Amino acid sequence: MGLANWLTLIRILLIPVFVSLLVYRRPGFALVVFGLAALTDLLDGWVARRWNDQSTLGAFLDPMADKLLLTASFVTLTYLKALPFWIAAVVISRDVFLVVGALLVHMLGGRIRPRPTWAGKLATFFQVLTVLTGLLARFFDLRLAPTPVLWLAAAFTVISGLQYIVHGMRFLNAPPDEKREESRERALYS
């Protein structure tokens, strides 16, 4: 297991620390831990590309670590009333739909090598920004994160979810020969 995967593993191990710090009312330390987790995300990608340390395990673990961190963040900040329930519901619902869709494709014999779309990248950016504003709201003892950030996160989350669903439906409706070609040569979600 290479350095990139170890960095991803560190990010996963930081999640319970981050959540515990938030729940026990240590938002400043939680913000630092969230920053460290974000740094490991940047570093693992850089290490994987720079030292050709890319692996199948890393391709699975990295997005999983990101989803776990964001889901834990949204659930905890919603529980602490730093974020409204509806934004957590939008973000988590999209991820549940994607996992169910991926399982469906897998059960039907397809292989998925998802790549983020432009909307997915923007959704992730605004989700992280939403978490940061929620953390800052906790740190400065404000009621809620700023509404425009929440709406942008929700909009790009829904758009990216619809984009993934359309790509998945195209894959499922394609003739069997095209599915095999799709799984070998192109990513399902490019």
Name the residue ranges covered by the structural domains of the chain. Answer: 1-66, 81-190
Q: Please check whether residue 20 is in contact with residue 68, taking contact to mean a CB–CB distance below 8 angstroms.
A: no
Residue 188 reports pLDDT greater than 70: no
What is the mean pLDDT of the segment spanning 69-79?
94
Confidence label for 41 from pLDDT (cuts 50, 70 and 90): confident
Considering the chain, what percentage of its residues have pLDDT values greater than 70? Answer: 88
The mean pLDDT of 115-144, rounded to a whole number, is 84
Q: Rounded distance, CA 159 to CA 153, Å?
A: 10
Mean pLDDT of the chain: 83
State how far the Cα of 1 lies from the Cα of 3, in Å rounded to an integer: 7
Residue the block writes with tokens 């003892």: 141
| Per-residue confidence (pLDDT) for residue 181, from 0 to 100 | 45
Whether the per-residue pLDDT at 112 is higher than 50: the answer is yes
